[in-house]
Chains A and B, each alone.
Chain A
Amino acid sequence: MNHWIVAPVVLPALAGVAILLGARSSLRKQRMLGALATASLLGIAIFLMSQTYDGTVQVYALGAWPAPFGIVLVLDRLSAMMVLMTALVAFCSQVYAVAGSDARGANYHALFQFQLMGLCGAFLTGDLFNLFVFFEILLIASYALLLHGGGRDRVRAGLHYVIFNLVGSALFLIGVGTIYGITGTLNMADLAVKVGQIPESEAALLMSGALVLLVVFSIKAALLPLCFWLPLTYSSASAPVAALFAIMTKVGIYAIVRVYTMIFGAEAGIAADLTEPWLLPLAMLTLVVGTLGAVAGRRLRSMAAYLVIASVGTMLTAVALGNEASLGAAFYYMAHSTFVLAALFLLVDLIASQRGDAEDRLESARAVRQPALLGGLFLLVAVAIAGLPPLSGFIGKVLVLRSALATPPAVWVYSVILGTSLLTLIAMSRAGSMVFWKVGADREGIAMVAPAKGVRVTAVALLLGLVVAMTVFAGPVVAFTNALATQLLHPSEYIETVMSVAMVPAADSVPHGGGSR
């Protein structure tokens, strides 16, 4: 068994505890431990990614209990890519945070590591209930990270976010309970087999359970009409936290893809293609609402938050089209949008810190201290987000559109994606010209602002570097995401690998109990 598979869960857990216990007094130590852990996580993620490159599926049976009785972690192309994306965004966010955002409250780095543990666990697990547990871990860490630094706005946003997600958790348990009650299993591979054999008399109950889960995942993914918690939450979080949260909506999308292509996919018998009537219209509406929100935004932060919703809409549109090319495009676009939105949140913070009292409000105010640097970065981000050539947003949108060409809803997909791209372009141009051009002459005020710290600019540059790399190496990346889509749509190897995990002979010792699930 390849023990590295469990490392992305164990390493942040240990690092978080080490920071809590060993480095409470010294922020410097916390930063060093945190950076070390995140850098190691990045290394491990790259290693795991290289393991899946040839398409093998690897299973890690926790406590050596064979599936479907024990919990398994599964490493396939999809989970490896999600873990790598998490590690990359986390690394850049951490680079930004060590420049001072982490000093506004206690225990930032410990919480950050617990958040990473929840994220990586959610991506790796092959068990539906275990997915719930990792969701809760990442949520409770995100509650605390969101409130980090305190303040009235954060408390108000946090109250909504926490209560909404607690109701979501209750629904998750209802969905999982229903599915368990009918199939008698929670292992995703086993479920994929069992769901196909459900008698017609029980199908309605099973499908209700599955659709309750869709509601829960839509809450996490911010799919319309469950997306209205997001703008306030993301715009009131501190910049590095918001950048890390750029990956959080992707957890919901990941869960939707995993559950509704593998378990309730084409081979699920009566419950096959369950989400088809819902997902595509809702995804396109989400895209429209997100873009309109961005156009109407009166602050850069809330604009960025609405752009997150719009990106969710684009990805789920591609996912809902459901063919191999569109799934591949969805994951290319997912990587692109995660990096670029994380960069936008960080950049907005840099801009806001140089505009005096106006902060990130879109109104005429004094110029920023470093107009060339920040303006240049903003231009890059705007080009990437709006989907203009040459950056990866363009490639991603072209891939999505091309995959939609032969499908019946092509007209709708084309008009919505192209129309919202234009609106996004307008929103970004408006914001950019307001912030960088429509400025008053306040030379003394400008001179009093400190220039952005090099570390912070580096973090933004790293994220934009990833976007550029995704553009330059678009060929290999798309080849990988297409292979990922093929693996997703043909889950037989995944299922066989998971189900063939044999009991380890208990030669020297009786296997220890796995503890509570």
Chain B
Amino acid sequence: MEFLFASALGVLVTAGVYLLLRARTFPVVLGLALLGYAVNFYIFAMGRLRVGLAPIISEGASAYADPIPQALVLTAIVIGFAMTAFVLVLSLRANFDLGNDHVDGRPPVGEE
């Protein structure tokens, strides 16, 4: 499971960074979203990967899953969602105001 989890994280981060560097707003927003997913998975994994354990104190439980990363991820998801929505609206606005979708507000030289 560790291998699967780690490689999924790696793929997400790679794709996220690649899209971020595309310098067009729509890929950048997608890249930020992928990076956000990767980060959420990462925080989750920091509570250690275990299967079928209780997160709250219960009778007869021999071991527990760490509940704090789950709470942290929840918060990070909420904030990430709000930020994605904001940056999406901002990109649309930039596209209308500036007439193109480059993050610098003007297309690079030779690519009009």
Contacts and interface: CB of A to CB of B under 8 A. Distances in A.
B25 A173 contact: no
A159 B90 contact: yes
B83 A159 contact: no
Interface in B15-45: 20, 25, 28, 32, 35-36, 38-40, 42-43, 45
Contacts of A140: 82-83, 86
Interface in A471-486: none
Say what secondary structure dominates the interface of chain B. helix
A181 B104 contact: no
A236 B75 CA distance: 32
Interface stretch (A18-26, A161-169, A190-198, A422-430): A161-169
Given A178-B46, A181-B46, A156 B94 contact: yes
Contacts of A155: 90, 93-94, 97-98, 105
Say what secondary structure dominates the interface of chain A. helix
Contacts of B35: 167, 170
Interface in B66-87: 68-69, 71-72, 74-76, 78-79, 82-83, 86-87
B43 A162 contact: no
Number of chain B interface residues as a range: 35 or more
B97 to A, nearest CB: 5
A268 B75 CA distance: 29
A69 to B, nearest CB: 9
B103 interface: yes
B98 A166 contact: no
Given A152-B98, A152-B105, A156-B104, A162 B79 contact: no
B68 A180 contact: yes
B46 A152 contact: no
Nearest to A129: B72
Contacts of B43: 173, 176-177, 180
A201 interface: no
A516 B76 CA distance: 11
Contacts of A163: 20, 28, 32, 87, 103
> Which of B43, B91, B98, B104: most chain A CB closer than 10 A?
B43
B76 A173 contact: yes
Contact of B71 (A136, A152, A159, A517): A517
Contacts of B42: 173-174, 177
A162 B86 contact: yes
Given A163-B103, A181-B46, A152 B87 contact: no
Contacts of B79: 133, 136, 169
Nearest to B76: A173
A166 B39 contact: no
Contacts of A169: 79, 83
A118 B74 CA distance: 20
Nearest to B106: A156
A156 B86 contact: no
B5 to A, nearest CB: 13
A170 B46 contact: no
Nearest to B42: A177
A414 interface: no
Contacts of B28: 163
Contact of A170 (B39, B48, B75, B104): B39
B105 A156 contact: yes
Contacts of B103: 159-160, 163
A146 to B, nearest CB: 10
A201 to B, nearest CB: 16
> Which of A147, A163, A181: most chain B CB closer than 10 A?
A163
Interface string A129-154: 10001001000100100010001100
A385 B39 CA distance: 41
A169 B76 CA distance: 10
Contacts of B39: 170, 173-174, 177
Interface string A175-186: 011101100001
A396 interface: no
Contacts of A136: 79, 83
A517 B78 CA distance: 11
A158 interface: yes
Contacts of B75: 129, 133, 516-517
A247 to B, nearest CB: 22
Nearest to B29: A163
B107 to A, nearest CB: 13
Nearest to A135: B79
A159 B105 contact: yes
15 contacts: A140-B82, A155-B90, A155-B94, A156-B105, A160-B103, A163-B87, A169-B83, A170-B35, A170-B38, A170-B39, A177-B43, A177-B72, A178-B46, A181-B45, A516-B75
8 interchain residue pairs of minimum CB distance: A181-B46, A156-B105, A177-B43, A177-B46, A173-B39, A517-B71, A155-B97, A170-B35
Given A129-B72, A166-B83, 8 more contacts: A155-B105, A159-B25, A159-B94, A160-B103, A160-B104, A169-B79, A173-B43, A180-B43
Interface of B: 20, 25, 28, 32, 35-36, 38-40, 42-43, 45-48, 68-69, 71-72, 74-76, 78-79, 82-83, 86-87, 90-91, 93-94, 97-98, 103-105
